[in-house]
Amino acid sequence: MTEKLQHKYALSRQGAIDMIKACISVTITNIVLMMSAGILYMLIKDLLNDSLSKDRVPFYVAGSIIILFAVAITNFIQYNATFLTTYRESGVRRTTIAEKLRKLPLSYFGKKNIADLTTNIMGDCAMIETASSHWIPELIGAVASVSLVGISLFFFFDWRMVLASFWVIPVAFIIIITCSGAEKRAVRKNQAVKLAMADGIQECLESIRDLRANNAQDRYMEELDGKIKNVEKLALFTELKMAVYVNSAAIILKFGIGTTAVVGGILFAAGEIDLLTFFMFLMLVSRLYDPMEITLQNFAAIIATGIQCERLDEVLSHEIQTGSEELKNEGYDIEFDHVNFKYADDTDVLKDISFTAKQGQVTALIGPSGGGKTTISRLAARFWDVNGGRITLGGEDISKIDPETLLSRYSIVFQDVTLFNNSVMENIRIGKSGASDEEVMEAARLANCEEFVNLLPEKYNTSIGENGSELSGGERQRISIARAFLKDAPVILLDEATASLDAENETAIQEALTRLIKNKTVLIIAHRMRTIANADLIVVLKDGIVAEQGSPAFLSEFDSIYSRMTKQQMISQDWKM
């Protein structure tokens, strides 16, 4: 039961146990509330039979007081069991998801967009929080308590009156259950158009300069407006569809009042039940069906919440990369040994890749776009695991190393730098947690950052804006290199670190990189041949295979892909308008 609840509603083990306790507490509270009707029934019966003696009065007084205290105590327990534990579990769920995301393969984030993950952490968690605190315990508690009351009445009163009063409840639930498939499909569609809208809004904010530069904002906003209207239309359609089922079930409930009155009238006229029993059942159905309508609405909402639960469970159940936290490598040579790799769509990306990036040397990956260069660098850092062959670091298979332990030995400088809306100092300090200000400034000096930092209003304490919006591309790249200096890892991965920079910035960054890569294992991806003219080994990739490999001098001796790329770039440099 506990494990099923964990997967069904994306709960922790303690959260699943707390949900069971919440359902039990609501059931007990409902039963205690119904006990007052029992006391009232007995009192009216004594009054009608003129058998209310003085020695019975203390019984009713004491019973009323006991029930009053029981209601107060059970409500207090219910509040703690449903609300406080749910809010605690909601915090645990968000923390668990964040921890799980931290341990997932980095390739996972390439398949998910930011809007989807944000919805997972915020929107889906909030929806399940409401379901866990309000809908699920109330539904289970109502069904359980009504079932117990129905069974009790069946044994102590006329079974025909019980059937006349309760037959509508299972029928109403069956109506809601029959719509569950249609509701889930509608919710999935609703979720899809909401994500499309969120993606559109985010894309618009990120690309507003390009849209304005190309006079495309009106056309884009028209498309975005269409996405927003789709959300509105589908939301109305979904609500209307559910209203049809829920209102139909509510109408069925009202039939119970009629059948109770008809059957009760017939039995009373025949003398098979007394007036008090007839009155009690009429009072029961008048009080029972209104709360049951709310319960039916909760049931429909729980069915819809199943989609959010599935989305969260997909994250929480996703396979994580594991491995030893203790490295036993000998040196830091990176060896690709007959490596094969394909993405989830089963398309071959790399086929039988073999080469060695030696410690103390620069190994360059070049070749036409789509050849697999970036994939190789990601595999070397275990962003993905290979489908065949193996990759070793100092002789140790990286698939057997914990990803965080492995990445602690890597410094990675991407072409697209990610910066945070914080100071220059804190953005560089990300390279080494707890680094002193002096260490940060020394790393900045080695990365040629001082040149522009000293011109900033508050120097190292200057806030650089969202994703470094206050800095130029070259300045942002130098901060990224400063992080790598600060981390001082034995393995350096450079992915097009100077591809989109002007000549002045490129020269400054190349000087910084020359200092950074000294005596380390360096794997560099480059399109500019001059960037890797002094590389020790060049690996030429084409269509997912190693087409050529060797030193620049060796590959220049014949009509190789490398020599042709070098000649083409020399020709392009001489091109004039």
**pLDDT mean over 133-137:** 76
- Which tokens is 330 given? 């000998």
86, with CB counted inside 10 A (0-12, 13-18, 19+), is buried
307 pLDDT band (50/70/90 cuts)? confident
pLDDT digits 0-9 by tens, 187-237:
778 777 877 787 777 777 777 777 777 777 778 888 888 888 888 888 888
pLDDT digits 0-9 by tens, 257-285:
888 888 888 888 888 888 888 888 887 77
Closest among 131, 148, 61 to 89, alpha carbons compared: 131
| Of 387 and 345, the one with more pLDDT | 387
Q: What is the per-residue pLDDT for 105?
A: 76
Q: What is the per-residue pLDDT for 318?
A: 76
| Of 354 and 370, the one with more pLDDT | 354
Answer yes or no: is pLDDT of 178 > 70. Answer: yes
Please, what's the b/e burial string for 42-60 (b: 16 or more CB within 10 A of its CB; e: otherwise)? ebeebeeeeebeeeeeeee
d(CA 339, CA 261): 78
Inter-helix orientation angle 217-269/159-166, to 10° = 160
What are the sequence ranges of the domains in the chain?
2-316
d(CA 432, CA 440): 9
Q: Taking the model in full, what pTM does it have?
A: 0.65
Please report which helix (H) or strand (E) contains residue 176, including its range.
Answer: helix 168-178
Kindly state the percentage of the chain with pLDDT values over 70. Answer: 90
Q: What is the per-residue pLDDT for 8?
A: 67
Answer yes or no: is pLDDT of 500 > 60. Answer: no
**Which residues is 102 bridged to in the sheet?**
none
Of 4-13, 122-131, 285-294, 360-369, where does mean pLDDT reach its minimum?
4-13
**pLDDT mean over 92-105:** 78
Q: What is the per-residue pLDDT for 506?
A: 64
8 Å CB contact between 36 and 68: no
Q: What is the per-residue pLDDT for 542?
A: 84
**pLDDT mean over 106-129:** 70
Characterize the bridge pairing of strands 334-342 and 362-366. unpaired
**pLDDT mean over 386-394:** 88
Please give the mean pLDDT across all residues of the chain: 79
Please report which helix (H) or strand (E) contains residue 212, including its range.
Answer: helix 208-213
pLDDT digits 0-9 by tens, 536-565:
888 888 888 888 888 888 877 887 777 777
447 pLDDT band (50/70/90 cuts)? confident
Answer yes or no: is pLDDT of 254 > 80. Answer: yes
End-to-end CA distance of the chain: 74
Q: What is the per-residue pLDDT for 573?
A: 57
| Of 49 and 65, the one with more pLDDT | 65
Architecture in CATH for domain 2-316: Up-down Bundle (1.20)
Helices then strands, counting H and E runs in the chain, come out as 23, 10
Q: What is the per-residue pLDDT for 12?
A: 73
Q: What is the per-residue pLDDT for 6?
A: 65
Answer yes or no: is pLDDT of 156 > 70. Answer: yes
Q: What is the per-residue pLDDT for 511?
A: 72
Answer yes or no: is pLDDT of 503 > 70. Answer: no
pLDDT digits 0-9 by tens, 50-95:
666 677 778 778 888 888 888 888 888 888 877 878 777 777 777 7
Q: What is the per-residue pLDDT for 135?
A: 76
| Of 70 and 416, the one with more pLDDT | 70
Please report which helix (H) or strand (E) contains residue 289, including its range.
Answer: helix 275-316
| Residue 466 CB coordination number (10 Å) | 11
pLDDT digits 0-9 by tens, 288-297:
777 777 778 7
Q: What is the per-residue pLDDT for 100?
A: 79
Please tell me which of 10-14, 160-164, 472-476 the model is most confident about, judged by mean pLDDT: 160-164
Q: What is the per-residue pLDDT for 572?
A: 55
Q: Tell me phi and psi for residue 349, to 5 degrees.
A: -110, -45
d(CA 264, CA 332): 88
Answer yes or no: is pLDDT of 499 > 60. Answer: no
8 Å CB contact between 132 and 9: yes
Query: Rounded to the nearest 5 degrees, what angle is found at the Cα of 274, between the Cα atoms of 269 and 279?
Result: 95
Answer yes or no: is pLDDT of 576 > 70. Answer: no
Answer yes or no: is pLDDT of 575 > 60. Answer: no
Answer yes or no: is pLDDT of 10 > 70. Answer: no
Q: What is the per-residue pLDDT for 549?
A: 85
- Which tokens is 387 given? 């489908």
Q: What is the per-residue pLDDT for 498?
A: 60
504 pLDDT band (50/70/90 cuts)? low
